Amino acid sequence: MFEPTIPFGEPELMRVSAFRRYLDELVRNPDSISTSSRLSSLSPSLTADLMRFEHDGSGSEALEVLAACVRHAQSVTIHLQCIDRVVPLTVFPQVRLVHSPLDMHTLLDARVTELRVLHVEPALLRAPGDEQEALVGEHAQHYPLGELLWELALRGTRTELLPEIAGTAAYRLAPGLELGRLRLSGALLAAVDRLQRHTTNLREMSSWPGFDRERAVRLLNALYLQSGLIISRTHPVAASDSWFGDSWFGGLGR
């Protein structure tokens, strides 16, 4: 237990070094553990999506992997490096929940920019309400997926638009989007209010009070992952930006 960074009483988590040895053993002896069939059950489209975000063999940033899992609506377990421990996050996109044995506030209070994905596999746990009650995690260990995505988008390492919303585009907030549970104040709150009334592009948004390009990118990513962003490739405002794209895209399905 790394007591200086994880408070007393939190669960014992596997060390990163031990987890890496476990993964190496799977590669050397894929038939010795009934894991190979489970790993191969990730959908080919999700697997291809995840491969886009590999960074020089050092793993993927958490936001990128979570975004891919949400897009494909596939429940997965993401083994996430937090300092020198491994936190298994089980993501349930269809019910917008995430299961974590480590308290979510503790996880997010860690150095978010250093959270790295070590491994992704299909979920063994089931979402709350599933018929297989024995496989449902403890109620207190489930957290809103939207809040995790919001924090990682605003504070994580990614400073470019997610591929699905990049390019020549105009953005506006979808009517009726509920953001009450999220931390919003100051320039962010003003920007969200403006996006509810005004269609804009990244270049214009970057010039808003309290904003620059990076902060605009982060907010657009965060809103997209709340299923709250309307993206137009044909709006006149999109044409005044410098990127290329085609057709209409909506926010993620609720």
pLDDT tens, 146-158?
Answer: 999 999 999 998 9
Question: Are 213 and 115 found together in one domain?
Answer: no
What pTM was computed for the model?
A: 0.81
Tell me what the mean pLDDT of segment 43-47 comes to. Answer: 82
Q: How far, in Å, CA of 200 to CA of 250, rounded? A: 15
Question: Is residue 8 situated within a structural domain?
Answer: no
Domain that holds residue 26: 16-155
pLDDT tens, 204-215?
Answer: 999 999 999 999
Predicted confidence at residue 142, as pLDDT, reads 96
Question: Is residue 3 situated within a structural domain?
Answer: no
pLDDT tens, 119-167?
Answer: 899 998 999 998 898 989 899 999 999 999 999 999 998 999 999 999 9
Question: Are 206 and 125 found together in one domain?
Answer: no
